[in-house]
Chain A
Amino acid sequence: MSSETGPHENVSDDKNLPSAQDASGAEPEVHTNPFADPGLAPHDPRIQDIDERAAKRSERTVAMLFTVSMLATLGFIVAYAVIPVDEYVYIFPIGRISAVNFALGMTLGVALFCIGAAAVHWSRTLMSGAEIVQDRYPIGAADEDKAGALAAFGEGVRDSQFGRRKLIRTTMFGALALVPLSGVVLLGSLGPAPGTKLRHTAWARGKRLVNENTHEALRPEDITIGSLSFALPEGLEHDDHSFQKEIAKAALMLVRLEPEDIKDQQELEWSYQGIVAYSKICTHVGCPVSLYEQQTHHVLCPCHQSTFDLADGARVIFGPAGHPLPQLRIGVDDEGYLMALDDFAEPVGPSFWERG
């Protein structure tokens, strides 16, 4: 039904008459207020409310869903019993996946889903579709309850003599404030004081640079222009108890540059025939820097994209790192192997308060 706006008959439309509505009190209002709440609309019967055959169909649907769930659970048990844990199958379009994972997950999923679908279908088609109305009550207490509560509390306070016995009050607060300190003090056992731990690494004068992959000591000729090599300090073995802790600080990367490409004077002095050794641990938050652009001599940290120029003292040229990668001073020993001439001159890795 449509009509132009203007003089119109909508307000007197039958179903909007207050008499046709829920008796929730809109009646006297609607003459003065055209926007009055018409009240809850009467419940439209569903087909299941009218037609018992439709209700039967709904019943069968719900029962069928519960039955499918039972079958799926049986399927789950059979799949668990029958499929070996190491069998893989091709499932289009997913690809090759664990057969038992797929079978268990799907049967479990169907078993659960069908219970849910059955319950929801049951509630939507067969349980009463009419909404009910209930009153709310204020959350806060009535005044007499409040007065009663305050009176009881006041009586309790007076009984305790808390207000009068100032000495008790003060010492009690003192005791309660101090006692948690025991717990705080116990937290001191969580770890050692930092001391100078963050300042030293496993590198020291004379330690050879060992290829991280082949475990063989590196010679200068092993490092070619354009390559990126990773090195460990001699004597640090993967099986060592402290390997993870030491490698977290000592990880080293080596590149060979044309000596004339090195822009930084100290970098040149600390290099050996154009081979420069830098800490691999990013000075931002400690990821291993490992993406190398051989033409630009930039290394990029894959975690947060800090970019360092290895030809210019590992200066930060992009990203969130706050200072250059520390350089390790290297040379060769009597037998021609690359070795460290010292530990790193500054702490490696992320910056910290005492770093200076």
Chain B
Amino acid sequence: MSNAADNVRPRASAPRGERIADWADGRLGIYGAAKKNIRKAFPDHWSFLLGEIALYSFIIIILTGVYLTLFFKPSMAEIHYEGSYVPMQGVLMSEAFASTLDISFDVKGGLLVRQIHHWAALIFLVAMFVHMMRVFFTGAFRKPRELNWLFGFLLLVLGMFTGFTGYSLPDDLLSGTGVRFMEGAILAVPVVGTYLAMFLYGGEFPGTEIIPRFFSIHVLLLPGIMLGLVVAHLILVFYHKHTQYPGPGRTNSNVVGFPLMPVYMAKAGGFFFLVFGVIAMISAAVQINPVWVIGPYRPDQVSTNAQPDWYMGFSEGLIRVMPGWEWVIPTGHTINFGVFIPLMIFPLVLAAIAVYPFFENWVTKDQREHHLLDRPRNAPTRTAFGAAWISWYFVMLVGGGNDLWAIFFDLSINAITWFVRIGFFVVPVLVFVVTRRICLGLQRRDRDKVLHGRETGIIKRLPHGEFVEVHEPLSQEQLHLLTQHEQREPAELPPAVDENGVKRKVGPIERLRVRVSRGYFGPHAQIPKPTAKEYQEIMSGHGHH
């Protein structure tokens, strides 16, 4: 056994790069990790880029955000504007608004950085949302990745609130309306609503505290938490190794992909520059949030078509279509259901998708690790649930833009509101049923293709005059791909009487689980995949198609 002193390597002879690496290894112990990871394989698929877009836009937001803090003044002190934007000169506004105008008109490149920051934020949330859907529909959230699913979900929720606090900072007429909306929503909380509002705003709305407080939350508290979550998310991706789509040579116990160095480094690193480049070009050409057109916030003024950024749109829909139920209860207190119920549904909508992995695991009781992704059709109930959730979300989004729908499609706002009120309950159910049927249809098609081959469109006339279509047998790769998935058996209740003849007690929760499991895996919930026997019978000429 060698002691530390024996472990010193000769220095001068090695090339310079190696000497630096030796120096680092002596302090950090890098060689062990490097040996394992430099050629780590990363599976390749376009849908894996969605999470990368989210990561890169997050980095872009941090870089540009730091620059913006150098110029932005998070203060609600009222001043007369004296900057170079002529239409606003002399107008009374908060320092926050004035410094936003300065960034936009007087700081060279400031407008660009501001626009990159805002565009990247919108793209960040889209990317997280779509990435989450990719993970959902392919079943990538299954063991061992449930916690990483939750980290990702938290990032989405925190991203929404970071976005909200961020676009409120300029203190313009549009975002101020959103801040007022938040006050109204908080006031609707029973018992403590007025206290919460007074504490948050440092007194009565709008006060002089909310912008500085949002600033701390926006630049420090939320991004700090998010940065930690992003790091944890990535560590887990690395540690679990990436999932992969099924295909020839890809199994649950291997990773097939390109080595980290050099291919994945070049592709993923290059992709950062592609994302940043595209966002920079968008920000060069497409104006976003022109606060100088909207003007500074005043609580007695408003503009029409007031819309939050897209990711807040579904909560806006909830608040718009909810009937104005307001009750005074016998104690003489008011319960404002019209606002409070939407305020409660808002987190429930998000929670519905967040807890799904745990729900599915409760149904399947599956303890195995899953690294091979599902094709969405092979998990019809899950896919239908996800599609129903998305449709639910979009119904609310339509409600959030009911004024815009009314204007652009020449519809009655009352009709849209009623459509959303009914659609909130009906559309997800319809989408669930339809999606499930589509998945089953696709499973049938897969089955037909395996057993009868691909329809070539070539019609052949047989000697006795019959016309037949030529079917081309699938390749071994396709045969494997279309049949590799596992089909579960539904859970069953244990026999009513146990081996000693005693009546077995089965709790209501277990009964429910068995019913749900039948809904997931019962005869009506999946098409049996072709067996080797069926295939061989047909292929040996006994079958018929």
Contacts and interface: CB of A to CB of B under 8 A. Distances in A.
A39 B476 CA distance: 10
A176 B25 CA distance: 41
Given A2-B472, A133-B255, A322-B338, 14 more contacts: A5-B545, A37-B484, A85-B108, A101-B115, A104-B112, A139-B369, A198-B204, A245-B206, A247-B300, A285-B319, A304-B320, A320-B322, A322-B325, A349-B184
Nearest to B333: A353
Given A133-B249, A198-B204, A35 B256 contact: no
| Most chain A CB inside 10 Å of its own CB: which residue of B249, B303, B539 | B249
Interface string B400-413: 00110000000001
Contacts of A41: 248-249, 477
A213 B300 CA distance: 12
Interface in B454-468: 456, 458, 460, 468
A136 B239 CA distance: 10
Contacts of A115: 270, 273, 277
A48 interface: no
B336 A287 contact: no
B251 interface: yes
B454 to A, nearest CB: 9
Interface in B253-282: 253-259, 262-263, 266-267, 269-281
B287 A119 contact: no
A34 B270 contact: no
B470 A2 contact: yes
Given A100-B108, A305-B403, A355-B334, A285 B249 contact: no
Contact of A7 (B273, B336, B540): B540
B254 A133 contact: yes
Interface in A118-162: 118-120, 122-124, 127-128, 131-136, 138-140
Contacts of A339: none
B473 A286 contact: no
A35 B535 contact: yes
| Most chain A CB inside 10 Å of its own CB: which residue of B276, B371, B458 | B276
Given A4-B468, A5-B473, A117-B270, A132 B302 contact: no
B164 to A, nearest CB: 15
B206 A350 contact: no
| Most chain A CB inside 10 Å of its own CB: which residue of B269, B299, B452 | B299
A109 to B, nearest CB: 3
B188 interface: yes
A132 B536 CA distance: 33
Contact of A37 (B251, B259, B277, B285): B251
A244 interface: yes
A286 B180 contact: yes
A251 interface: yes
A145 B240 CA distance: 19
B480 A36 contact: yes
Contacts of B336: 322, 350-352
B538 interface: yes
A194 B39 CA distance: 62
Interface stretch (B8-16, B134-142, B193-201): B193-201
B7 interface: no
A104 to B, nearest CB: 5
13 contacts: A7-B541, A39-B249, A100-B109, A105-B115, A116-B275, A117-B270, A194-B198, A247-B300, A286-B205, A318-B417, A319-B417, A320-B324, A353-B189
Interface residues of B, number: 141
A128 B263 contact: yes
B257 A101 contact: no
B129 to A, nearest CB: 23
B41 interface: yes
Contact of A191 (B189, B202, B248, B335): B202
B105 A86 contact: yes
Contacts of B337: 322
A119 B284 contact: no
Interface in B179-220: 180-181, 183-185, 187-195, 197-207, 209
A6 B106 CA distance: 77
B94 to A, nearest CB: 9
B302 A38 contact: no
Contact of A127 (B251, B266, B284): B266
B200 A353 contact: no
B413 A119 contact: no
Interface of A: 1-8, 10-11, 16, 22, 24, 32-41, 80, 85-86, 91, 94, 97-98, 100-106, 108-120, 122-124, 127-128, 131-136, 138-140, 187-188, 190-194, 197-198, 212, 230, 238-239, 241, 243-245, 247-249, 251, 280-281, 284-288, 290-291, 302-306, 316, 318-323, 349-356
Contact of A133 (B115, B256, B456): B256
A120 B266 contact: yes
B326 to A, nearest CB: 3
Nearest to B284: A105
Nearest to B530: A35
Given A104-B112, A286-B180, A116 B277 contact: yes
Contacts of A116: 270-277
B320 A320 contact: yes
A288 B326 contact: no
Contacts of B285: 91, 94, 97, 102, 105-106
B180 A123 contact: no
Interface string B311-355: 000000001111111101000111111110000000000000000
Nearest to B535: A34
A323 B326 contact: yes
A7 to B, nearest CB: 5
Nearest to B190: A353
A37 B472 contact: no
B284 A101 contact: yes
A132 to B, nearest CB: 5
B187 A351 contact: yes
Contact of B284 (A8, A104, A291): A104
